[in-house]
Amino acid sequence: MYKKTQTAEVRATQLAKNDPENSGTSAAQHSYLRSLRSRQYRIAVIRVLIFAAFLVLWEAAVRLGWIDGFIFSSPSRVAKTFCGMWADGSIFRHIGITLVETLISFACVVLLGVGVAVLLWYNTELSEILEPYLVVLNSLPKSALAPLLIVWLGANMKSIIVAGISVAVFGSILNLYTGFREMDPDKVKLIYTLQGTRRDVLTKVILPGTVPLLISVMKVNIGLCLVGVVIGEFIGARQGLGYLIIYGSQVFKLDWVILSIVILCVIAMLLYGILNLVEQKCLRGREK
């Protein structure tokens, strides 16, 4: 079950942003906040150094002949490829297509996940009927469904978006429904004691109480939707980073493949970071 309160580090970071004279914190607390900031800075620097060392080692391995640059590419070749595709504008088209498909599939997963989970919570008989089917559908390898989606819906953006949805939606429904059922029963009883209805329980207890869970599920789903979209682009696309990967491997332009993978990693980190900021803002709002 997702924690309903902030961690000590998050709360400490909030205090660190306040005016020390007005925050009411002691000298020991100020010392702890300084050590926390120092630790966060140290972690960030080490992360950057590890990444820089990886790039240097990769480039050196290619230049010294330890690995084949044609197969494994190199940072300089990837940067040169990116600059060339930047100049002709093709990279923006591929990134834009993949990003739009991912965001649309993610929005559909959120709406379907919350909507179906609420429906199952409202109707316990329906949930008992559908739960085993949801478990089976969630267990299916979605890469096996992608070719069927292309046949059923055609090689277009719609089939790719559906592929992205299929990867994340069933797990989202199951996780949210489980979270709804595990809400504090005392709060639910209190609503009924005050002559509230099932709708009041949903709007005043279930939905507000599962906001942290919803955001946590969204953080997982954004990556899953990106994976599903790329799988769909492997099979039935003429644009997008997935298409660039599969086409580049077919014509042995492996610099395209490595560049596309790097860009996908950057997109995943940015989308996850945005949702992480949303989560922190929501948690701060709940603490006030």
Among 139, 118, 100, 110, CA closest to 221: 110
Q: Are residues 61 and 109 in the same domain?
A: no
Weakly modelled stretches of the chain, pLDDT under 70: 1-25, 285-288
User: Where does a domain end: 49, 67, 85?
Assistant: 67
Is 283 part of a structural domain of the chain?
yes
Cβ-in-10-Å burial (0-12, 13-18, 19+) of 141 comes to: exposed
pTM for this model (two decimals) = 0.81
Among 236, 218, 226, CA closest to 263: 226
Give residue 19's domain range: 8-67
Are 210 and 176 contacting, i.e. CB atoms less than 8 angstroms apart?
A: yes
Q: Are residues 136 and 101 in the same domain?
A: yes
Q: Are residues 95 and 169 in the same domain?
A: yes
Q: Are residues 62 and 80 in the same domain?
A: no
Q: Are residues 30 and 97 in the same domain?
A: no
Q: Are residues 33 and 86 in the same domain?
A: no
pLDDT score recorded for residue 82: 93
Q: What CATH number does residue 124 fall under?
A: 1.10.3720.10
Q: Are residues 161 and 51 in the same domain?
A: no
pLDDT score recorded for residue 3: 44
Q: Which pLDDT tens digit goes with each residue over 138-189? A: 888 877 787 888 888 888 888 999 999 999 999 999 999 998 888 878 888 8
**Domains identified in the chain, total number:** 2
User: Where does a domain end: 67, 85, 117?
Assistant: 67
User: Where does a domain end: 67, 84, 99?
Assistant: 67
Q: Are residues 89 and 218 in the same domain?
A: yes
Are 218 and 226 contacting, i.e. CB atoms less than 8 angstroms apart?
A: no
pLDDT score recorded for residue 21: 45
Across 67-90, b (16+ Cβ under 10 Å) vs e yields eebeeebbeebbeebeeebeeeee
Is 2 part of a structural domain of the chain?
no
Q: Are residues 199 and 92 in the same domain?
A: yes
Is 98 part of a structural domain of the chain?
yes
Is 120 part of a structural domain of the chain?
yes
Q: Are residues 275 and 132 in the same domain?
A: yes
